[in-house]
Each structure stands twice: as C-alpha cells, then as structure tokens.
Structure 1
C-alpha cells in the first residue's frame, strides 16, 4: 500500500515549490479576473509568499508592489496579467538577459519570445552570465531600493558578468536567503545587523531551527560568515567594517571572508572584487587554453591524423562524422603537449592550475584528473598507498577495480561484509562494528602495523552513505595512522549539498581537521580514556563511540569520484582527491601510479569537461543538487501514492533500505508524515547509515519483472535508460540533468505498463492470474540467500594470523595463468554438487563478477561454498565477467593446491 503522507516533504522542495506557488497565484488571479474566484484567496496566497520572496532578486519589490497595488485597487485584469508575466519570467528566466523585464510598464512584444532554446551549432553566446549578491546590513528596509539602484549604477559594459543585489537585515534572514536562493553566489556583510528576522513565519523557522544556530552574544558578521561557509562553502563572502579592519583582517576567524573593506568607502572596488571573485571560479585554465589553441593555425606532423579535421572534412566517406560533431572537436585535438598545451602525466601549466582549482572546489589538498574512469582512479590510489604484504580492510562488495588493485600491488585484502538485504538481492554497507572487530582482531594478533588502508564504497550504488566522520574517528582511535580510501564514484556531486556533504570523505575530513585544532578535543579524549580504564576489553571498545588521541592522529584521506556519473563531464572523466598530512611521503609513488595507469594519449575534450564541470558546480552546484533531490522526492511521491502504479511498483523507503539498528535517530523515510527538515538533518548527523534521497530503488518484482527484464523493457520500448538492477528491482537516479518533464514521462510510462498488466490479467483468465502470482512469488519470496565471502584457501594464507582472514590474492590470481593447473567444472551438474559435499574443495582461479553492479562473488583463491553456488545458479543478470557458461567455473586443480601446500 502507498504510504500515507501529508506532504511534509515540502521543506525540501524549496525551488520547485516557488515556481508552483507562482503558478497557483496566476491561476487564482485568472479566476478572480474571470469572476470565478475570490480576491481574498489571491491576497492570501501572495501574502504567504512575501517573506521568502524577499530572498530573491526577481520579481523584486517594484513588481511585487505593483501586483499588490493592482489587487488593492480591484484591477483584476491587470493583476492577472502581471502575475502571469512574473510566473512566466521565473519559468523561462528571461529576466536574466532582458533588463526591461524588471520594468513594471514594459512588456514583451508579440514577436518577442524568451530565449530558452539550446545554443545552435556555430552560435556563440553573447549573454553575460547572471548571478545574485546578498547584502546583509542594518539599514532600514525603506532604503534598500535606493541602495540597489546605487549598486546597479556601478555596472559597466566591459563587466564579464551581471548581478542583481538582494538586501536582508538580519542574521536569520541571511541564512534563509543563502539556503532558499541558489542564484546567490556572493555575500556582502556590513556589521551591525540584528540576529532575529523581522518575520516570524513557520517556513522560516522550519529552515532555521535544524541548523542549531541560536541567538548568542556573538552576533558578529564573522560568525555569520563562518555559518554561511558551513552551509555553502563555495560562496564568496566580503565584509564591510567601520572598526579596525587591519586587526580584523589578521583574525583567524576571518578565514571565511574573501576580502575586508573599510565601511563603504570604495563601492567600485567592492563591485570589482565581487566580479573578480566570480571570475576566479569561472576561469577554466585548460578549457580556456584549449579554445585558444583551436583558434590558431597549426601545422600537425604528429601521430594524430584527426587533429584539425582535414582527413574528416575532405573525405566523401566520413564527412558526416565531422558534420555530426562539429569542427571545434577536431581543431581542439592534438597529441602534442607543447605549444601552449600541457601534459596530464606531468602537468606544469594549465592542467596543473585546473587541478588546483578542483582541489579548492572539492575541499581537497590535491586533485588528480583521470581520463580512464574511476576504475583507474581506484587502482592508482591502491597502488600508491599499498605495498606487497600490506593488509587492507576492504568491503568485499566494492567495485572490482579495488580487488584488481590488490592483485597488482600484492596487498592482502581482509574482506569485511556489508549487511545483507536478502529480500531485494542486494547488499547495504559495512557496519562500523564489523570494521572495528577486524581492526581489534588484527591488533590482538600483533598485526596492526601491517594494516595500512580501510577501503569502502560511499555512497553505495543503492544510496547507503556512511557516517564518514564517525568511521574515521573510531578507526583512528584504534590505529591513528590508518589511511582511508572512499570510493565515491557515484556521488561526487554530494560536496555541493548541506544534506550530503558531511557524509563525504572531504566534508568529514574537514570537520575532523577543525576538531583536532580545538583544545576541547584533547579534553574529550582524556575523559574517555579515564572512563575506559587502562586495559579496556574489546567488548567495551566495541560498545563505545571511540575518540582518537588528537596528538597521535595522522589524518590521511583519499576520495575518488566519477565526475561523469554525477556532474557535467564526458564519460570516463574522474578525479582523485587527496587530503593527507603525509602526502609528501607517498607523492612520488602517486606519480608512479599515474605513469602506470594513465594513458599517454589522454582525450583533450575529456580533460576540458573536468575543468568545466568544476566551474559549473562551484557556481551553480548547490541549486543543481537541490533540484536533483527535489526531482527524486517528486518521483517517490508520484509512484508510491498513485493508486494504480503502487499496486505493482514501489520506491523503497529509508526504513526498508536501512535496518532500524543503523537509524539511531528513528528516521523512517522522506515521505513519512513526521518528516521535516529537522528530522532529515538529525538523521544525517546521527545515523550510522543515511539514504541519499537521489537514489530510488524501484521494486518491479510485484509487476512480474526481474530487474534485467524491466531495464530492457524501459530502454527498448520507452526510451528510459538506467544502470543498476537486482533480482526484483531497478535503481533510478535523479541527477543534475533531470527535469520535471522527466518525472512526468516516467510516471506516464509506469501507468501505461500497469494498464498492460491489468488488461493481460483481466483477459487471460484464472490461468494467467495464477501464472502471474507464481512469477511474483519467485521474484519476491523465493529469493536466494546472499553469500558472504567464505575464506581464502589455507595455501594463500600462510602469513596470515590464526583467526584473521586476509589472503594473498595476487599469488592465487597469477598462479592461474598456468592453464595446466586449472580446470573447469560446470555450474549445473553432478560434479559440482559432489565436490561441494565430498570434496576436494573447489578453489576459484579468477574473479567472477556479475555486472551490474560490478563487485565479485568469487575471487582468486577463494574456497567456494554451497551458498555461493546457490546464489550463482539463481543469478538473472546477462553479463557475468569471469564466467564462461559453456565451460563452467574456472578452478585451481586440487593437485596444484596440494603441491603448493607442500612447498
């Protein structure tokens, strides 16, 4: 049954709700003008918007005032006309490039249309990018229109960008404006403003209360600057002060401020500083240089015939490729790293600068651009950080690239298991208790010094996000120099959302850095040590939220992200992010890893797309990610509350994706009746696992489809593409590319599929209904148990501890290169069953990886068990890497295992 809700998720729908509210005002105004509605209803709707509209530049006080006047003077026709104009302006965003749109008396001519079409081939955009600047001051609100006029007078034709000012008069209003309005990219603070907003409306309180900000003695602009940076770290903040600006500039608390000005003595300098700050984020060193390179006449005598496009455009046979992609693609191609271009392998110029800007944007110390996908980023990190014999605690369900990295380096994986979601044939994430047990077991055997790395996927394919800070802090309490590798391939955009950032590697590492600098951290550690005693038992350590010793911690954090999976980068664009206090000790190894894995012929356009993806996220990422979250919530509601769709399909809630013991806050779901912004923030801060709202597990088994079958149907019949499937579900992802039109298309398709099912069941009679029920039962009830990693065979564990399960995966992998010591056993048949029951043990010779999702169910050297074979036999995916159906399972011969044991 669909969940009963009261639409409390509006607290997260701040952007689309605004457009919907204006469409509602237009409808009410039209109804009043047609004498089919009441003026009071229109006045009430407009009054409800008054507080939040102050946080946006458009329509602004002048247009809003004109609308109110027309309503007050009973000009129903005029009010309806202006309301529709404002609503259409917000929908088309025409006000950004048409100055007359701000004029009450100006209207578009019948021949004029809003420019909403994509740029056509060969066109160059003459429009200046638009943004908004928040001014926070203590001036009376009556003076704000005049101040705005003064600021607009500073505009110059040569300015690269154009911005509109927004004025608020309090600490609280500033926070609300920054949260509600994604177009704000810069903030100017003039000291002396009060804390409390002049409004006291529920929507404002619902935004502010979960931030845990309260009125204190410190109402300073610096405190506001720090708070704004905590919510939106990409903002440029400027401070106007009439006191000792020299002393203020030297205050460490001023780190959140880009520049300090003495009062308003230099308005033009402030204007120029704002533009310069945006330019610093707008700059794309590699892309800008590549555009300049493409404009130059170049003679090419290197090994890339396609460069400059002559072999394409002079051909009768492949000219269509040139016409399809356009001339710039070929003009910007080169295999040279001179003449103004740079080398990805050893960048010294514009690529180096682009990577430094990416590090700033993503909160890292260093960033490596990778053009072979995050599979390569992961292998680079593993190779650089691990040596033969090192132990890495690894999520067995992580992407195959991590496992292959262990093979290449000779490191020994200690596999830890995620919690199972057997009903849906998927795994969740690895409980912290499991990770701590692994570290404590290794410590008990005197092997902790060999443990170098904790390697986890965050977030998982299905949206499980770790409490990253807690995981790192508790692990550092056991091993203070442990290195962390977080595979965030599918969630790189999380950096730009306050709901997701604390759950990212770089976001959590920044918080830990701040905590380590706080003297209170040492006090907290000492208090815990006193409570634990000198030799606490493992059980006590497992039940305690451990605090690390700030004096001993070496914070070493690495994060990989598939920029192309969540941002506007070309396929295979990836970044490797570094925040490591000991990076100088491994920097040479990292460069060797780059040389090992990176192509010497990287794609120039791919590098450029990494550059521009960073630019986009710094300047509009906050709004884009919020929109992706809103899209996801609308999909959840549209599916789970639709009377027909919900009979056969359902998006799983957080309570179905995350077991209750891991939801300490009690959070159930985004659609639950009790859900508010406060409950979501509480879950984000407290719960062991948190569900990324942009990931939607759509159960299709109740409609009689397995995941692979349903994925194929959507793609072939309806033009809807998706990636990951399970036995009875598919994964829907909302991203920064999706629109509400996409939601409507998906809902329409699901309705159509449901009608087909209903008709088939009605026309087919009892036989059809019985077969349908049996199919649903097989998908939803008769599901296979999920196998855990069994163990490495003892011959691959000779240097392992008595109880710890790490193994020499490299030796097993390369040992199987000799075909004379391998055999094949059919998956189905008596021989496989006999070996399972009577032996000899079956030992996998290679990786077996169903794709998707891409993690191994068998690894080299693993002893196969009944559970693994049963699961393998029930797999319904069509692509299984490492398994040839005609031959069977590739195993190491028992004689070869015995011979190795005798060595």
Structure 2
C-alpha cells in the first residue's frame, strides 16, 4: 500500500474496526471448532490484529501467544473459547475490573455476568478507574514482559487507580499508540529509541506523514514529547534519562514534561508520580466538596425548603418526586455558600479551583462557569468587552444572544453575511474576504479605533468550522489589538480531538502564541512587508495571506462553550474561556457582567456537572470524541450507500455544504471513494472552511417531508430526537453518548419510512405519484431566496461611517418600548406592498427570528426590503419569534423616526460648519 493511501474511514474507524475484527475472529474460530472453518484464514485475521494489539495492554502478549499456540496445535475448541473470552472482555470492558481476565487459565463461570449496567441510586461503585501507560524505550522487545511484571509489582492496595503498561520501542510506534489507544493517559519516555518502527508498516507511517511527523536525525524524547503534546495535550509525559537530567528539566522544549527522572533508579517514585498526575485531573474540587457536604448532618434555616429532602420524603403527595431523583440530589442542595461550598459570583475556594482546572484542560488562561446556558455566556462576554458606541463586526446569522448582547452594551453591530446555501434554506459561515473588507473599510474611514470585536460562530449549527488561526492572523495584520469572540456552543468537545482542535479558538490561539515567540515570525512579516510595499492597496491586502507584525499583536481570544451540548454536563451548563494578554484591563467589567447575568441562586448540581465534565474529557475525552466521529461516519455511509434509503434521503458531505472556492485542498467528503486520511488532514489545515464530521445534514425534502414535519415524525413515532431543521433537512449530531446501537436504530427507522413511501406510491396510483413529485419540487426546487441584512435606518446610524453599515440597535430596541410609537402592518396585503413601493420605509421595531432557520431576519432599526418580505411570506414554519400573525409586522412609526432623525441632522449640520 502506498505511503499516503489510507482511506479516511480506515483510519478514523480504527477503534470500532478493532472490535469488529475480534468478533470476526471469534466467529471463524467457532466455525473451525465445528469443522466448518478455515484455519489459514483464522491465522491471517490474527496476524492482522497483532500489529494493532501491540498498542494496547489487553489482551496482551500472554493471551495472544496462548491463542496463537492453540491454533498452531490444532486445538480448535481451546482457540474458540479463548477468542470468545478476549472478544467479550473487549466488548464489555471486563478486563478493566476483573483481574482474572488477564489469566490464560481462567474460565469464567456460566453464572457470572459482566458488570455493564449502571449502578442503582443507592449503590456506590467499588471499582478503581483503569488506564494504560505508554512506555517508550530502547530495550529489546524480549525484555518487555519482564519490565511489565516489575511495573505491576509496584501496585498497592491504597492506590486510587490501576494501570497496565503498553510497551513500544520507537518514535513511530509511540505516535501510533497514542492515536490508536484512547486508554493511554500517561507516557513514560526513556532516551535512546529509534525513529522507525520495527515493523514494516507503511500504513502506520501514512498516518504520521499528514501529521507533519517525518523521519529526521532528531528522534529524541523531547521531540517526541512535543509531538505528543500537539496530538493529545491532556497526556502526562514523564522522561527517564541517564544523562544531564538537570539540563533537560530546564530545556524550554521540556515544557510538556511533567517530571524528569534519572534513568530508572526511582521506579516507585515514577509509579507514584503517574498516579498523582492522573489524580490531578481526576480531582473535582467542587463536586468532591459537594459530596462531603451531602454526607454531613445539616440544620437548614435558609430559604430552600427542598434541601435535605425532608419536605419531599415526608410528603404523601410528592414522595414520588424524591424516589425518582434519589436522596443524594436533595442532600446536595443548598442556598448556602459556606460550610465547604463556594460562591459562583465571588469564587474563592473550590469553585475557583474547579475553574482553574477547567482552564488548564481547555487551554485557556481563565474560565468562568455559567449556569444559565451559553446564551448568558455570550451576553456576558459582549457586555464586558464592548461599551456604548463601540463597533463589533458580527455574523448576522449568529445566535440571538449576541444581538441582544449588543442591545445591552450599546455597541453598534456591523453585520457581515455568511455564504448562502439557498437550496437547503441555510447559511454557511462568513468568508474571510468579507471580514477583511469590513476591517479595511473601517480603516479607510479612519474608524478602525472604534472597532473592538469580531464575533463569529464556530462551528456553525450545520458544522462549518473556520480556519480560526488564519482568520485571527489576517485580522491582526489589519488591527493588531482586535478582540475575538468565538461562539463554540456546539463544538466544545473539539478540544479533545487532534483533528478538530486546530479549528477551535483556544487551539488556534495556542498555535499563534507559539508562532509569536518564534523569531521566524518577524522574518515572515518583514518578507511580506517588502513584497507588498509601504502602502499596499485594498485589493492587494484582500488577495494576500496577511501576516501580522508579531511586535504589535495583542492576542485577545474568548470562546463560549455549551458544555451541556457536547459533554456530560446538566442542561444549561456553559463555560466562558479566556486567553487574553490584556485581560487585566477588562477583569473589572467581567466581574460586573457576572453580577449582572449570573443567578444569586445557582444550581449546585449544575456546577458539579461542569466540574465532572472537565474531569471526564481530560481522562477519556479523546476516545469519546473519536467514537463520536466513528458513529457519524457510519451514519453517513449507511445512509448514502443503502439502496433503498438513498432513494429518498441523503447525508450531505463537504462538497454539498461548502462551495469549492472555500475548499482549497479539493477535499470533497469523508466517504468519497479514494478519499484518504491525508486528504482530510490537508483540508483541515488548509481549507477556509472545514466540515465537522460529527454534524450530519440529512436531506428529507426528497422524501416529501419538510424539516419540522420529519423531526416530529421521528420524535413522536420512533423516539428519535433532533435539534435543528431547515426547510428540507434535519440535523443529526453524533456525540460522546452515542453507540452503534443508535446507528442501527436510525437505519432501521429510515428503512421503515422508505418502505412506507414505496408502498404509498405503488398503491396510490398516478395521482399519488404526481402529488409526491409536486411536494418534493416545492421543498427542493421552489425554495425562497435567503435575505441578506438590508441596512439600519439613518435615524439609527448616529456616528456611523459613510460606507460602513453599523447601526444603533440599542436605541431602536428601547424606542419600541413606547407602544405609542409602534404600528403593525399585515405581512400579506396591499398595505405592505404599497409601503415597499411608495414608502414610507418600514422599520422593524423588534427582532424577528423564524425557527427554522433560526437567525434574525429582522433586527430593531432595520429597514425592511422586498427581499425580506418575500422570504417571510414563503416561510411555512410554525415558530417565528417576534412575529404575531394576527397583528402583522411590528414597526416603528415613520413620524416617530422623523422626530429622532431631526436632532441628528442638526448635529451633522453643526459638524459640517
């Protein structure tokens, strides 16, 4: 196989492929035991598995050797039993807690059932969490079993965790083990290992090349440590050396190393250090204290009757409520911020520590826990970073919380448009050229100093991920102190995938930080400056891949994160992440924003869930996100390659969702024939927009369903829940909760729906087929054009530039509080058409947000145009926030606008004189 010819799903589906191969081997072994199988094929499958199994602790060399010997000795029954035992151990994870699983001679009794069910409400788990440690050394492989036995001898009963060693002997094998084995949470590096694997495995090297890891003379432990940190920054790395350990410990390249040991003279200390490192991630300060609080006898004289549960469990009428949720929920409830608890508004104890640990996990300088959802996180950030009159360049299609944040802060939004996907009634993301043009226009008008913030959604609802580093670098080349707010509500988990992290705010900010410290950054800037000249025109700046001056850059990046949307947090759990070199200048405003928006009665369980979600992602997030990607790829392939389903449904891929001009690499999709892992990696690094593989737009209009209708059918009849719809599609999201059983259920349901369509078309005759075709045409062809933002009325453009579209949204919003200055015009009818044609202009008094598509098509102070009205009239959705069908469009009266406009004209006249 060529060095770059690994199919993308061959690579990204390796985790599930491993389990599938073991089930296949078990089936063949059973057949062989019944004299119906082929021993040679069985040996071939085992040989294929052995290369991958070297990167995992279980089943390990002892069990694999025993299986190989059983096959060689023609012991078909023994081979079948052992194969099934290993396969079941992997399927149920029994090897993590049942030590006998590692014993070649163990036979599980017929009455023993694997512990795979969740514990009951009053049952505490006694198992110790299990993980694996990767040891990279230069010792001969023959010595590895003895070394592993020595490591196991270090275990103690009082250890909080239990781990198994995984032994490899090269740079390549270490990288592959880290990628392929999500159980690895710590790495021990001993100097002296070679670069190349002892296996002739071009497939493994084809995995490495797209990651930028190529053979060189430097195969040092420090280089490997840096490579591992880029892939999985959550890993603890320990270094063993027999040379100047003091010098190594002080090397700047050792910043990712947790501790340096001299050779192997302190193996017990290494063992304890590994356990301590894991505990540093396992600890959940707030949740731990909340558990202690719940175990204490407490007298409650505060205003929370439900606390301790006595009002619930002593009641004949609501006792079922307590039985449903369990006693601990009520024991852990309190309105107090003392006695081991802490205040979310003024954290000084365990909440403060939990937020600091979250900052470490997510690559931020600071983290704020938010218990009112990311809508509140967004409003907090906008309020803290913007003052009245400041300008913010904002994606017009961003979540409504950003628009309301502008109202609260008094900032003036400069709306920029995402590229449209009219066929599916949705928008993509904002092109970089559009953003740069906005900045350059403000600069030309001498107003760049008033621009404070670039506010974008990443990834979008439908999966568009920006090239975040490029966007920030090019904007910083125009305005070096620009602040960035990235709404990553739907993709907080992306931090824990090396294939998605570069497309996140914190991941890109870390890369820019490293670049700014590199002397090569200044050389690159100077080279471009010489190429462009002293005063390049806008056309040249728009065409160039701009490089900022590293001496001037003030890196100020904010990210909001709906922890509950992609991690194991309770509903409304959110985090606000900060990486801002000038945070000290806005820290006071952030405190005020917290006081403004955070409840003085935050939910304790919700805060605890944020603490626990961080713990989980640091310790197993990599494997969970890989599983989510695998699930999504299986759904895509199962839908698009199924003979019946693909007649009526389609899972859109990158070339459907992203115009070719924004896919510079030429990447077309995840399941296209011939698409390799290298192609996907290249697209992730180079393309302007990249499609999050876990977000699947399923076209349902070709089956005769609009999005809302199909969402309702799935929920009401089949128990399948979805979030977002468009006119002719629904959004499927795979997450860390999904299993392959979920995929099977979805596919079975789609088959059933398709069969019912087939039967209806067959039995209904020509009339039914004609009606179906008309319905499909209406949904897929006769789609309304998507309206762009028109403009703010001149009355709401105080201090606005001549060529820039920002407006005073706050004044327009609050003006509508006076009912006497508002009027209503029916959406349908002669009055609306006459106003569009002859005036006076219709100016929206409020936000109007149809669901779907979910973006505001009208904002306060916006002049309504034919384009907007046409779109509204073609909408067939039930839910339109801000629009009362019986009353019509809520507008600001033209005479009230004229009154507001006169003072402004007077000021303009004075300025002109």
TM-score range, shorter chain: over 0.9
Bigger mean CA offset, 810-819 vs 832-841: 832-841
CA RMSD after TM alignment: 1.0
For residue 415 of structure 2, what is the aligned residue in structure 1? Answer: 415
In 1, Cα distance between equivalents of 2:901 and 2:603: 48
In 2, Cα distance between equivalents of 1:677 and 1:76: 38
In 1, Cα distance between equivalents of 2:581 and 2:81: 61
Q: Deviations over 1:315-346 (max 9, x none)?
A: 11111100000011010001011111100000
Could you tell me whether the CA contact under 8 Å between 2:8 and 2:680 is conserved in 1? no
Could you tell me whether the CA contact under 8 Å between 1:708 and 1:876 is conserved in 2? no
For residue 427 of structure 2, what is the aligned residue in structure 1? Answer: 427
1:723 aligns with 2:723: yes
In 2, Cα distance between equivalents of 1:195 and 1:902: 75
Q: Cα distance, 1:853 vs. partner?
A: 4.9
In 2, Cα distance between equivalents of 1:877 and 1:86: 53
For residue 10 of structure 1, what is the aligned residue in structure 2? Answer: 10
In 2, Cα distance between equivalents of 1:827 and 1:645: 39
Q: Cα distance, 1:35 vs. partner?
A: 2.0
For residue 175 of structure 1, what is the aligned residue in structure 2? Answer: 175
Could you tell me whether the CA contact under 8 Å between 2:419 and 2:431 is conserved in 1? yes
Q: Deviations over 1:395-452 (max 9, x none)?
A: 0000000000000010000000000000000000000000000000000000000000
Could you tell me whether the CA contact under 8 Å between 2:629 and 2:693 is conserved in 1? yes
In 2, Cα distance between equivalents of 1:177 and 1:275: 20
In 2, Cα distance between equivalents of 1:328 and 1:530: 67
Distance 1:6 1:439, change over 3 A: closer
Q: Cα distance, 1:830 vs. partner?
A: 1.4
Name the count of aligned residue pairs. Answer: 899
Could you tell me whether the CA contact under 8 Å between 2:6 and 2:203 is conserved in 1? no
For residue 575 of structure 1, what is the aligned residue in structure 2? Answer: 575
In 2, Cα distance between equivalents of 1:361 and 1:888: 49
What aligned pairs does 1:123-272 form with structure 2 within 5 A after superposition? 123-272=123-272
Could you tell me whether the CA contact under 8 Å between 1:8 and 1:673 is conserved in 2? no
For residue 506 of structure 2, what is the aligned residue in structure 1? Answer: 506
In 2, Cα distance between equivalents of 1:496 and 1:635: 22
Q: Deviations over 1:203-254 (max 9, x none)?
A: 3123222112112121110000000010000000000000011111111111
Q: Cα distance, 1:6 vs. partner?
A: 11
In 2, Cα distance between equivalents of 1:206 and 1:533: 41
Distance 1:6 1:499, change over 3 A: closer
In 2, Cα distance between equivalents of 1:214 and 1:671: 27
1:616 aligns with 2:616: yes
For residue 866 of structure 2, what is the aligned residue in structure 1? Answer: 866
For residue 122 of structure 1, what is the aligned residue in structure 2? Answer: 122
In 2, Cα distance between equivalents of 1:353 and 1:318: 37
For residue 384 of structure 1, what is the aligned residue in structure 2? Answer: 384
What aligned pairs does 1:867-886 form with structure 2 within 5 A after superposition? 867-886=867-886
Q: Cα distance, 1:499 vs. partner?
A: 0.9
For residue 517 of structure 1, what is the aligned residue in structure 2? Answer: 517
What aligned pairs does 1:759-778 form with structure 2 within 5 A after superposition? 759-778=759-778
TM-score (norm 1): 0.99
Q: SS of the residue aligned with 2:364?
A: coil
In 2, Cα distance between equivalents of 1:586 and 1:900: 33
Could you tell me whether the CA contact under 8 Å between 1:485 and 1:558 is conserved in 2? yes
Distance 1:7 1:703, change over 3 A: farther
Q: Cα distance, 1:201 vs. partner?
A: 2.1
In 2, Cα distance between equivalents of 1:319 and 1:758: 50
Q: Cα distance, 1:37 vs. partner?
A: 2.0
Distance 1:359 1:680, change over 3 A: same
For residue 526 of structure 1, what is the aligned residue in structure 2? Answer: 526
Q: SS of the residue aligned with 1:256?
A: coil
In 1, Cα distance between equivalents of 2:530 and 2:446: 25
Bigger mean CA offset, 835-844 vs 472-481: 835-844
Q: Cα distance, 1:8 vs. partner?
A: 5.0
For residue 700 of structure 2, what is the aligned residue in structure 1? Answer: 700
Could you tell me whether the CA contact under 8 Å between 1:796 and 1:808 is conserved in 2? yes
What aligned pairs does 1:286-435 form with structure 2 within 5 A after superposition? 286-435=286-435
For residue 538 of structure 2, what is the aligned residue in structure 1? Answer: 538
Could you tell me whether the CA contact under 8 Å between 1:836 and 1:866 is conserved in 2? yes
Could you tell me whether the CA contact under 8 Å between 2:345 and 2:595 is conserved in 1? yes
In 1, Cα distance between equivalents of 2:135 and 2:379: 47
In 1, Cα distance between equivalents of 2:229 and 2:876: 47
For residue 470 of structure 1, what is the aligned residue in structure 2? Answer: 470
Q: Cα distance, 1:11 vs. partner?
A: 1.3
Q: SS of the residue aligned with 2:751?
A: helix
In 2, Cα distance between equivalents of 1:346 and 1:854: 35
Q: SS of the residue aligned with 2:328?
A: helix
For residue 829 of structure 1, what is the aligned residue in structure 2? Answer: 829
Q: SS of the residue aligned with 1:756?
A: helix
Could you tell me whether the CA contact under 8 Å between 1:14 and 1:180 is conserved in 2? yes
1:798 aligns with 2:798: yes
Could you tell me whether the CA contact under 8 Å between 2:6 and 2:677 is conserved in 1? no
Could you tell me whether the CA contact under 8 Å between 2:58 and 2:95 is conserved in 1? yes
Q: Cα distance, 1:852 vs. partner?
A: 4.5
Could you tell me whether the CA contact under 8 Å between 1:793 and 1:863 is conserved in 2? yes
Could you tell me whether the CA contact under 8 Å between 2:372 and 2:573 is conserved in 1? yes
Could you tell me whether the CA contact under 8 Å between 1:461 and 1:853 is conserved in 2? no
Could you tell me whether the CA contact under 8 Å between 1:445 and 1:801 is conserved in 2? yes
What aligned pairs does 1:79-118 form with structure 2 within 5 A after superposition? 79-118=79-118
In 1, Cα distance between equivalents of 2:706 and 2:470: 37
Q: Cα distance, 1:876 vs. partner?
A: 2.5
1:446 aligns with 2:446: yes
Bigger mean CA offset, 650-659 vs 33-42: 33-42
1:732 aligns with 2:732: yes
For residue 55 of structure 2, what is the aligned residue in structure 1? Answer: 55
Could you tell me whether the CA contact under 8 Å between 2:6 and 2:206 is conserved in 1? no
Could you tell me whether the CA contact under 8 Å between 2:727 and 2:852 is conserved in 1? no
In 2, Cα distance between equivalents of 1:839 and 1:396: 25
Runs of 4 or more above 6 Å deviation: none
Distance 1:7 1:642, change over 3 A: farther
Q: SS of the residue aligned with 2:90?
A: helix
Q: Cα distance, 1:256 vs. partner?
A: 0.8
In 2, Cα distance between equivalents of 1:621 and 1:709: 35
Unaligned residue ranges in structure 1 (runs of 5+): none
Q: Deviations over 1:174-200 (max 9, x none)?
A: 000000000000000011111100112
Could you tell me whether the CA contact under 8 Å between 2:848 and 2:881 is conserved in 1? yes
Could you tell me whether the CA contact under 8 Å between 1:67 and 1:82 is conserved in 2? yes
In 2, Cα distance between equivalents of 1:120 and 1:513: 47
Q: Cα distance, 1:832 vs. partner?
A: 1.1
Q: Cα distance, 1:47 vs. partner?
A: 0.8
Could you tell me whether the CA contact under 8 Å between 2:7 and 2:677 is conserved in 1? no
Could you tell me whether the CA contact under 8 Å between 1:723 and 1:852 is conserved in 2? no
Could you tell me whether the CA contact under 8 Å between 2:425 and 2:727 is conserved in 1? yes
Bigger mean CA offset, 394-403 vs 24-33: 24-33
For residue 814 of structure 2, what is the aligned residue in structure 1? Answer: 814
Q: SS of the residue aligned with 1:239?
A: strand
In 1, Cα distance between equivalents of 2:336 and 2:798: 49
In 2, Cα distance between equivalents of 1:562 and 1:150: 44
Could you tell me whether the CA contact under 8 Å between 2:637 and 2:671 is conserved in 1? yes
Could you tell me whether the CA contact under 8 Å between 1:651 and 1:696 is conserved in 2? yes
In 1, Cα distance between equivalents of 2:289 and 2:875: 49
In 1, Cα distance between equivalents of 2:851 and 2:298: 44
Q: Deviations over 1:349-380 (max 9, x none)?
A: 00000000000000000000000000000000
TM-score (norm 2): 0.98
For residue 889 of structure 1, what is the aligned residue in structure 2? Answer: 889
Q: Cα distance, 1:875 vs. partner?
A: 1.7
Q: SS of the residue aligned with 1:891?
A: strand
Q: Cα distance, 1:799 vs. partner?
A: 1.1
In 1, Cα distance between equivalents of 2:257 and 2:898: 67
Could you tell me whether the CA contact under 8 Å between 2:368 and 2:576 is conserved in 1? yes
For residue 908 of structure 2, what is the aligned residue in structure 1? Answer: none
In 1, Cα distance between equivalents of 2:100 and 2:558: 49
1:461 aligns with 2:449: no
Q: SS of the residue aligned with 1:902?
A: helix
